[in-house]
């Protein structure tokens, strides 16, 4: 992935070009000059961090956890068994494998290998990263396997038969790597939403056309059945199926912004636009009803359905008249509640909720002419998730976790009480550790909740080394989960851990997100800074012992924090970040996020962004907290250019910094456990040197 080919040499519409960007050449992901720079930076960072006597033990501890044979092998439920993708020291790239439910219940399940990614990579001389499958319901035997060379989001696709455990000879193959996906219509037909060449990608470099591909015919000759607009973020057609796999409609979607979509259904020989909010979506078929979710108040048919609610229409009525079918309320959130996920079984829908950042799960059924909501009996004061569900039975699995308790996997079947199916081992000693929740007051008076996990023996006003993290974007919540490696490498050594729930995230529903985007994005940064200040005010830590860490949008969060308040922190880990926000729309998939941040080409919106863009805020004469920036060469989403340029500018300013870049893995971190352990140890050494060691001379 490289920068847009149309990038002008000098500034246009206020967007800096190569003339104004001295490190523009670092935007070429794999140029010889850029990779030479990366190699030298990696060498410097590795030499320094690995020389620390703690490094070897930190890496060994992390690798032990990552390679643990006792960790829960999470599964998907298919008609021919439970499927799991597994990586360990013998299989660093991973195995797709399956077992039976009876075997899975045992302490040592008997696994059957379906696809060995390590063997495939070796045979083909590629660095394949498994990216999942798209399979034909209801049997789910014919699948398109997605593979990425090195971990990019872009994939190639190959037809695979799970019955023979082999790729289908002469089957469907898409060797040209691309964003986008496929969906099976029947055993001989695919809906394909990919890059078909010139004029088929949006400005965000996502596909916006869909073709109907028949087996045995060239993909280039496949019939185009839907076309969005090049200005969309993405667009494509799909299928509306019930739990049995029956197709009830052909649907389509145009992402007019990252958070807004127009929805269509093929009806009467044409695409009919659905009369629904752009922040609403189709949410599945339950008990003969089609459900919708909405992130905004929805006024229709003389009713108002509140934001974050679920709405239903009778499926057959909707198929006859997509915009005229009567709508009814299925579920609406109470105060400080929000939906976090949903899954279907043969006859029910389950939704995972957040209730003041604590988990709940409820079951939805249509009985006796009305919608019934039944709570699922799972542990209180935990983060709950739906781990797997079976659309052909009533079996469903739930994940249960918190900061200090190892993960647990529950199984339920219909109305039966959930039973514990699997428990992860403890990876650190939790005795004496405690979890507390507080609120900080942001710049505009809003109360911002956060959790602090205290190590054993922590006292006030002792300058405890504290790591603060968060996300605060795209309506994504950051929730308590078992700390695993952080517990072993950080908490056991006396460090405290803090998770902040800023506006812009999804902890309290759509409104919590929408109040901190675009012109109001500074609210997210203010919230994070407010939590940091509150930690100091309450005596939990001091600026000399306070570090921050975040990735992707969280990397931007950390970048804004240490450039706006360099006095408040003494360590900053900036992971796979956005950083140069005046050019973010030209780098990687940045243009797709204009709905979150704004468009730098528009003067009014550029002013919002320029006010916080970390790259532009790096200036001489400021004592920054020696940040550690890292990225991945294979990241075609945010792109390594952001972190690279931040490090290069710090060097040019004479500022101390550290930089590291994984050469594989991509944005989603598709690296083997050895690489994961090394990166974790590098970061922990950095934090300990900055926050725990006696640095009176720094």
Give the CA distances from residue 359 to residues 156, 346, 406, 499, 566, in Å, rounded to whole numbers and listed in that order.
37, 24, 16, 16, 35
**Six-digit token string for 287:** 């008990």
433 CB contacts (<8 Å, ≥6 apart)? 404, 453, 454, 455, 456, 487, 491
CA distance 589 to 578: 11
Alpha-carbon 369 to chain mean position: 38
304 CB contacts (<8 Å, ≥6 apart)? 297, 298
283 CB contacts (<8 Å, ≥6 apart)? 291, 292, 293, 310, 342
Contact present, 409 and 398 (Cβ < 8 Å): yes
CA distance 341 to 352: 5
616 CB contacts (<8 Å, ≥6 apart)? 580, 581, 582, 610
Q: Give yes or no: 552 in active site.
A: yes
- Out of 309, 442, 552, 668, pick the active-site residue: 552
142 CB contacts (<8 Å, ≥6 apart)? 135, 136, 159, 160, 161, 168, 184, 187
692: DSSP letter: I
What angle separates helix 553-564 from helix 522-537, to the nearest 10 degrees? 60
Contact present, 280 and 291 (Cβ < 8 Å): no
CA distance 424 to 65: 11
Tell me the CB-side half-sphere exposure of residue 472, using CA atoms within 13 A.
35
544 CB contacts (<8 Å, ≥6 apart)? 463, 570, 691, 695
Helix (H) / strand (E) containing 412: strand 408-413
Asked if residue 640 has a cis previous peptide bond (ω within 30° of 0), the answer is no
The count of other CB atoms within 10 Å of the CB of residue 9 is 10
What sign does the dihedral 14-17-20-26 (CA atoms) show? positive
For 652, phi and psi rounded to 5 degrees? -65, -30
Query: Shortest CA distance to 179 belongs to which of 213, 154, 197, 202?
Result: 154
The count of other CB atoms within 10 Å of the CB of residue 285 is 23
Q: Give yes or no: 696 in active site.
A: no
43 CB contacts (<8 Å, ≥6 apart)? none
Give the CA distances from residue 246 to residues 32, 184, 186, 249, in Å, rounded to whole numbers and listed in that order.
52, 12, 10, 9
Query: Shortest CA distance to 467 belongs to which of 535, 549, 399?
Result: 549
Which 3 state secondary structure label does DSSP give 6? coil
Query: Shortest CA distance to 427 belongs to which of 490, 513, 371, 338?
Result: 490
CA distance 284 to 282: 6
CA distance 337 to 193: 35
Contact present, 302 and 289 (Cβ < 8 Å): no
CA distance 325 to 303: 13
Residues designated catalytic: 552, 667
């Amino acid at each position: 992935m490289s920068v847009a080919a149309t990038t002008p040499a000098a500034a246009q519409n206020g967007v800096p070009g190569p003339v104004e960007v001295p490190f523009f050449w670092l935007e070429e992901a794999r140029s010889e000059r850029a990779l030479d720079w990366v190699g030298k930076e990696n060498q410097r960072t590795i030499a320094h961090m690995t020389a620390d006597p703690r490094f070897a033990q930190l890496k060994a501890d992390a690798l032990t956890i990552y390679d643990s044979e006792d960790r829960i092998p999470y599964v998907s439920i298919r008609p021919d068994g439970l499927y799991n993708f597994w990586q360990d020291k013998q299989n660093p790239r991973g195995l797709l494998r399956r077992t039976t439910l009876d075997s899975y219940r045992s302490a040592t399940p008997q696994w059957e290998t379906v696809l060995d990614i390590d063997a495939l990579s070796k045979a083909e001389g590629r660095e394949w990263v498994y990216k999942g499958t798209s399979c034909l319901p209801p049997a789910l035997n014919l699948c398109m396997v997605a593979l990425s060379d090195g971990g990019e989001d872009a994939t190639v696709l190959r037809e695979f038969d799970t019955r023979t455990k082999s790729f289908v000879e002469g089957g469907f193959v898409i060797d040209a790597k691309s964003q986008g996906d496929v969906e099976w219509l029947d055993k001989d037909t695919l809906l394909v939403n990919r890059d078909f060449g010139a004029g088929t990608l949006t400005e965000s470099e996502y596909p916006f056309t869909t073709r109907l591909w028949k087996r045995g015919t060239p993909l280039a000759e496949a019939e185009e059945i839907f076309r969005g607009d090049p200005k969309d973020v993405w667009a494509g057609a799909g299928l509306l199926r019930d739990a049995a796999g029956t197709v009830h409609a052909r649907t389509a979607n145009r992402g007019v912004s990252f958070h807004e979509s127009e929805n269509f259904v093929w009806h009467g020989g044409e695409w009919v636009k659905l009369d629904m909010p752009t922040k609403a979506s189709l949410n599945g078929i339950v008990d003969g009803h089609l459900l919708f979710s909405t992130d905004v108040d929805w006024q229709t048919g003389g009713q108002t359905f509140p934001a974050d609610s679920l709405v239903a229409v009778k499926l057959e009525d909707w198929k006859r008249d997509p915009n005229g079918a009567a709508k009814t309320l299925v579920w609406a959130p109470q105060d400080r509640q929000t939906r976090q996920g949903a899954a279907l079984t043969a006859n029910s829908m389950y939704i995972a909720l957040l209730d003041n950042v604590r988990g709940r799960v409820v079951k939805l059924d249509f009985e006796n002419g009305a919608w019934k909501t039944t709570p699922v009996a799972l542990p209180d004061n935990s983060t709950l998730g739906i781990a797997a569900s079976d659309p052909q039975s009533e079996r469903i699995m739930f994940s249960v976790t918190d900061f200090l308790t190892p993960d647990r996997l529950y199984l339920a079947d219909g109305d039966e009480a959930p039973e514990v199916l699997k428990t992860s081992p403890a990876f650190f000693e939790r005795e004496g550790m405690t979890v507390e929740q507080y609120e900080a007051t942001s710049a505009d008076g809003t109360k911002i909740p956060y959790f602090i996990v205290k190590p054993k023996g922590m006292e006030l006003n002792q300058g405890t080394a504290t790591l603060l993290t968060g996300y605060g974007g795209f309506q994504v919540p950051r929730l308590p989960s078992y700390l695993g490696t952080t517990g072993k490498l950080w908490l056991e050594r006396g460090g405290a851990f803090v998770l902040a729930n800023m506006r812009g995230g999804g902890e309290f529903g759509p409104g919590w997100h929408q109040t901190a985007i675009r012109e109001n994005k500074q609210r997210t940064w203010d919230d994070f800074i407010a939590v940091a200040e509150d930690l100091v005010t309450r005596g939990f830590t001091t600026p000399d012992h306070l570090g921050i860490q975040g990735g992707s949008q969280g990397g931007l969060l950390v970048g804004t924090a240490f450039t706006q308040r360099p006095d408040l922190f003494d360590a900053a880990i900036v992971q796979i970040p956005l950083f140069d926000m005046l050019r973010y729309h030209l780098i990687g998939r940045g243009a797709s996020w204009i709905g979150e941040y704004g468009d730098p080409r528009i003067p009014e919106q550029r002013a919002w962004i320029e006010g916080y863009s970390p790259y532009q805020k790096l200036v001489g004469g400021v004592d920054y907290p020696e940040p550690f920036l890292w990225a991945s060469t294979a990241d075609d989403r945010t792109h390594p250019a952001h972190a690279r340029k931040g490090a290069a500018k710090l060097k040019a300013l004479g500022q101390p910094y550290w930089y590291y870049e994984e050469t594989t893995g991509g944005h989603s971190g598709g690296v083997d456990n050895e690489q994961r352990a090394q990166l974790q140890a590098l970061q922990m050494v950095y934090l300990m040197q900055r926050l725990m060691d006696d640095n009176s001379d720094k």
